[in-house]
Amino acid sequence: MGLDDDDKAAFAELGVTVVAADGDDDEVVVIDPAAVWSSNWPAVAVFTALATQWRVVGVGNVILRLGLDYAEADRMIARMGAEADVFWDLQVMEGVALPILNEAVDE
């Protein structure tokens, strides 16, 4: 099922460009789905670099994420040459990500 004109207009209002993949109107590719303000880019770059640095605990047959490994976060901030204040932005991103990452646990 492809996008109709209303869907395309809604995406355009958000500044998102969508195109049909390989000329197939049933498959849609989103181009530039999220813009990041330049002032936030260092935090986003460090956050994505920390993708494998979550503290986890096994609860039955479920893995529950507790939060980022802050020691590794500090090292990554320094390694990437980011300002130390990026840590506070990481905590905000972590707080938003945790409920989403642990959503399956609640089900």
Are 46 and 76 in contact by the 8 Å Cβ rule? The answer is yes
Q: How many Å separate Cα 73 from the centre of its chain?
A: 16
Q: What distances in angstroms separate CA 59 from CA 51, 52, 55, 100, 102, one per listed residue?
A: 21, 19, 13, 17, 12
Could you give the 3-state DSSP secondary structure of residue 51?
A: coil
Q: Output the tens digit of pLDDT for each of the chain's 107 residues.
A: 466 777 777 777 766 666 665 555 555 555 556 677 888 889 999 999 999 999 999 988 888 999 999 999 999 999 999 999 999 999 999 999 999 888 866 55
Residue located via tokens 């969508």: 18
Rounded to two decimals, the pTM is: 0.66
Spatial distance between the Cα atoms of 8 and 90, rounded to a whole number of angstroms: 33
